[in-house]
Amino acid sequence: MDTHYIEEEIPGGVSLKMWTRGVPVEDEAKKQLANAARLPIVFKHVAAMPDVHLGIGATVGSVIPTLKAIIPAAVGVDIGCGMMACKTTLRAEDLPDNLAPLRAAIERAVPHGRAPGARDPGAWSKLPGSVETAWAELEPEFTELCRDYPKLEKTNHRNHLGTLGTGNHFIEVCLDEEGAVWFMLHSGSRGVGNFIGTMFIELAKQDALRHDVHLPDRDLAYFEEGARYFGDYVRAVGWAQKFARLNREVMMRRVIEAAKTVLHKNFQSHIEAVNCHHNYVQKEDHFGTEVFVTRKGAVSARAGELGIIPGSMGARSYIVRGKGNPESFHSCSHGAGRVMSRGEAKRRFTLADQRAATEGVECRKDKDVIDEIPMAYKDIDAVMQAQRDLVDVVHTLKQVVCVKG
């Protein structure tokens, strides 16, 4: 049978189905996927998206369905990380020739980056009203979690709600194929989510040692239903995923308000809006069986469901509609996928390379963002071609402004 995926049988495990025709995959990533496929809790097969690459704990771009168990390291530490995009009534011609003031207004409106000490530019020192209101939705459940895990209270939680973070997180102003203006951003559950992820990954490893569980990789330690920490993890990860979704909504509102102050135009936003996780776990029904599906660097692509596949700085991004392919567990890629580490990108490319790659985009052009250069990623066109049976492209977006953490 002609398929769009490559299937590999894994001795002592379920098979791998990889949507990687025409895109590179490192051997280390394949080994990591094979280790996941050997776990006794994995259902049917492991799916790998075309942006698949070696990850910390588990493979980025993997979709792992599990029976009555969850692998905390497969979800990772940036729980609920994902994308939000909003189409507006603005047109390309409504944007000024000089986009620097728009970028500066967005940078003022949303805390971003990170610095040690009390004056962290990536956190709120005084919470705006919109953040207080959003936090009120999260606080009751958070208070309950703190009763069981008091250290959570000392993390960055409310002061990180509505903030961007660092690394590959960004806020962009984009134009689609018809000249409509979109706002798009990428962030997750920030400090508190990182703490929850890190804590439960460690607890899972300790649990595996205590019960002498044989694992192909210690990072793949899991909690089974009924086990000591299973219920707590499900509660905590669910809360962190809510935080992440709300974090993006709060930021988006602030970005839109900031844009209105600079553009002096009253425009409508949310004409089309998408808010999707790409690092998360949830219960779903596949092949007639209820399973936990962990998408680590993958987006849900049920039939008719909208998702976001971003390119890196200076590359195209896509709003897509899922085709509901059962073999991928209704999933698609979450981006282009790295072909080299951040360190390797900084060694290989220069500031001149970064400036050339982001020509025409109002963004940072300094040594600290060289690791986000498009050449450090797979070719987005090849990635999209490899998953044409998973999604249809609805809109193609090109950045004109990019704010980095």
Pairwise CA distance, residues 199 & 366, whole Å: 34
**Which residues lie closer than 8 Å to 269 by C-beta, 6 or more apart?**
86, 87, 88, 89, 183, 252, 256
Paired tokens of 157: 């939680």
134: nearest Cα among 276, 275, 247: 247
Half-sphere exposure of 197 (CA within 13 A, CB side): 25
Radius of gyration in angstroms for the set of CA atoms belonging to the chain, rounded to a whole number: 21
Paired tokens of 55: 């990850």
Pairwise CA distance, residues 199 & 230, whole Å: 13
Distance from the Cα of residue 80 to its chain's centroid: 7
| Residue that the structure tokens 């961007």 belong to | 164
* CA dihedral angle for residue 222, residue 226, residue 230, residue 234, rounded to 10 degrees: 120
Counting every residue written for the chain, the total comes to 405
Pairwise CA distance, residues 55 & 61, whole Å: 9
> Do 84 and 275 touch, CB atoms closer than 8 A?
yes
Which residue among 4, 157, 330, 334 is the active-site one?
334
- Our answer to whether residue 264 is catalytic in this structure is no
Alpha helices in 16-128 (DSSP H): 27-37, 72-75, 100-109
> Do 66 and 42 touch, CB atoms closer than 8 A?
yes
Q: What is the residue type of 204?
A: A
302: nearest Cα among 325, 286, 275: 325
Pairwise CA distance, residues 135 & 142, whole Å: 10
Apex CA 113: angle with CA 306 and CA 265, to 5°? 60
The residues annotated as belonging to the active site are: 334
